[in-house]
Structure 1
Amino acid sequence: MATTDDSFNGMTEHCDDCDLDTLHEVSVQIRTESLKEENSQFSREPYRVSECQRCGNRTSQRMNNA
């Protein structure tokens, strides 16, 4: 589970690579999932991206699992 931290811009989350709770930079990215040009504008999905500030491990999770 993510918790807020006293730092300026970050969340404390568990990092599987470090096996510790470390400071992470968390953002939301909109990604196009379709490889077809004519449908690409209809296939954009939000992803939660989390990057460990200690080791650089980056994970992403699709937020719209319908």
Structure 2
Amino acid sequence: MLTRRSLRRTKTAHQQLADEIAQLREEAATLAPGRRRDMLLRRARQDETAMRIEAWLLSPGLRAPT
């Protein structure tokens, strides 16, 4: 019988996204302009958007639709 491993998260989703954004931008800064660099910057922007959406969803002012 297989047992399920329990994972303990040491960072919140917000922290993980922030770390990934910093890492992606740092890697993109070392590359010359091109496809790989553009893809890294695009992913960083997507992560920033995800952070904004998460903050909006968790904001106290958000109300359920009636």
TM-score range, shorter chain: under 0.3
The structure with more radius of gyration: 2
> As a proportion of its length, which structure holds more helix?
2
**Higher RCO, 1 vs 2 (CA within 8 Å, ≥6 residues apart):** 2
> As a proportion of its length, which structure holds more strand?
1
